[in-house]
Structure 1
Amino acid sequence: MSNWVKTILFLVGSALLTHWIPSSFFRNLDTMVHEFGHAVVTLALSGKVMYIELYADHSGVTYSSISKSWALIPVSLAGYMTASVFAWFLFSAYAKGKQRLGLQVMIALSGLSLALFVRNGFGIMFLIGFMALTIIVLALAPKWLRDFYYLLMAFLCLEESVFGPLSLVLYAWQNSRAAGDASNLANHTGIPAIAWALFFTLFALWCAKRAVQAFLGRSRGVRASNRQTPASAYRD
């Protein structure tokens, strides 16, 4: 079975499984990472970030200003691409047995977002609650529960990072002016919004493929290790 087929099946399976779990609250992690990407690139290009708002429906918006018109292109690219790379990072960390590092990165990004950017009520409550829960899991939870929590976050980020751009394709098809980042890119490049939405989707799928490869590689390694039988010890 090809890696692309595995990736598609993996995404569909993870979407079905995560929808059986009460996970609506945690889906805002992907939104936070998306908006954080916009904010960081804005600051890197000498722009100003006023604030970020995160909403209960998993949407978000970054209010910023930047003097260089060309800089709006990398800023608009940053959101979906950052979310896709972050999902890949979580699975790469899992493949290397570095779940603690992944959880620490989640806490750090949430803390920076809370301290520097997010100002609306729901966004603040989400970040405080998510940070508190993740710190408790990191510090007190047994390994099996910590790994379950980590994989839940990773799968949700992976799912959201792919299905978000896919939804953008539909929005761009129906109304090119209502496709968020794709519309902004269309306005500044002349390339249609649907083309940018497809670009985001293809990039997300590429990152998802790498994430699935990392996860399956880790799983095969664990199974191979479990199949090994220890050699009999000999004592004289």
Structure 2
Amino acid sequence: MSTFAKWAPAVLALAVVAGPGVWRFSRHVITIAHEAGHALVALLTGRRLEGIKLNSDTSGVTVSRGRPTGPAVVLMYFAGYVTPSLLGLGAAALVTAGHVRPLLWATVALLAGVLVMIRNAFGVLSVLLTGGAMFAVSWYATAEWQGAFALFVTWFLLLGGVRPVGELQRRRARGRAPRSDADQLARITGVPGLVWVLLFAAVTIGTLLLGGRLLLPL
């Protein structure tokens, strides 16, 4: 793959994440990953997962039942903001190893799992559109286009995982996010919400740097 072919998806993903108008729509994909992270950790830690809702304003909520405090709840709340970036890092490893089609099919499978847990019409539509795009590329596109699309998705997850953390802190500073993941973690642990936001930022920025190191030509 040429240097241009490696850079073009990164530039396009940056434009999608940085552009206010485009981001308003593309952020729904990040929300799907965010809520999927909550749901997966809830299941892995033995909590009872009741469902996921995705809203048209790009917010979402994952409902689970279990102990209101403890390590499982902390892990569940922490997972949301870091999941898109961690998925991006995993995707970067698969892309650089040449496993493009398995990456696309794994993404379709993950979205199918999320779809089962969606509990509102807009959420169903969001997941179906995202999964449909992934399936169409994996089934109909040429290998070259699959590779370019996989790179774009990878960069989008890596870059798109960072921006919501900044948005979260801006909302918190204005008093508009009293029940955010960071504030829920502060309530459970006694550690200030700002510390949790900084931890979100450290993970998302760190994975962006690691993923970029894997993807970009030296």
- Which whole-Å CA distance do the structure 2 matches of 1:12 and 1:194 have between them? 31
Within a 5 Å distance, the mapping from 1:1-236 to structure 2 comes to 14-16=13-15, 25-67=25-67, 69-70=69-70, 71-115=72-116, 117-175=117-175, 178=178, 180-216=180-216, 219-220=217-218
Which range moved further: 141-150 or 71-80?
Answer: 141-150
Contact 1:169 1:198 in 2 (8 A): no
Contact 1:91 1:215 in 2 (8 A): yes
Contact 1:186 1:192 in 2 (8 A): yes
- Which whole-Å CA distance do the structure 2 matches of 1:190 and 1:204 have between them? 23
- Which whole-Å CA distance do the structure 2 matches of 1:18 and 1:87 have between them? 14
- Which whole-Å CA distance do the structure 1 matches of 2:35 and 2:123 have between them? 12
Give 2:15's aligned amino acid. L
Q: 5+ unaligned residues in a row in structure 1: which ranges?
A: 1-10, 221-236
Q: Percent identity?
A: 25
Runs of 4+ in 1 over 6 A off after TM superposition: none
Q: Note closer, same or farther for the CA distance 1:134–1:176 as it changes in structure 2 (3 Å cut).
A: closer
> How many aligned residue pairs are there?
208
- Which whole-Å CA distance do the structure 2 matches of 1:179 and 1:134 have between them? 33
Structure 1 residue 69, shift from structure 2 partner: 1.6
Give secondary structure in 1 for the equivalent of 2:161: helix
Contact 1:114 1:124 in 2 (8 A): yes
Let me know the Cα RMSD of the aligned residues. 2.6
Q: Note closer, same or farther for the CA distance 1:87–1:61 as it changes in structure 2 (3 Å cut).
A: same
Give secondary structure in 2 for the equivalent of 1:178: coil
Q: Note closer, same or farther for the CA distance 1:17–1:84 as it changes in structure 2 (3 Å cut).
A: closer
The structure number with the bigger radius of gyration is 1
Give 1:16's aligned amino acid. A
Contact 2:168 2:177 in 1 (8 A): no
Q: Normalised by the size of structure 2, how large is the TM-score?
A: 0.84
Q: Note closer, same or farther for the CA distance 1:177–1:28 as it changes in structure 2 (3 Å cut).
A: closer
Contact 1:51 1:119 in 2 (8 A): yes
* 1:155-202 C-alpha deviation (Å, 9 max, x unpaired): 221122111112222223333853611010010111111111011001
* 1:121-171 C-alpha deviation (Å, 9 max, x unpaired): 111112222222221211111123222322222222112211111222222
Give 1:56's aligned amino acid. S
Residue 4 (structure 2) aligns with = none
Q: Note closer, same or farther for the CA distance 1:176–1:129 as it changes in structure 2 (3 Å cut).
A: closer
Contact 1:172 1:182 in 2 (8 A): no
Q: Normalised by the size of structure 1, how large is the TM-score?
A: 0.78
Which range moved further: 175-184 or 81-90?
Answer: 175-184
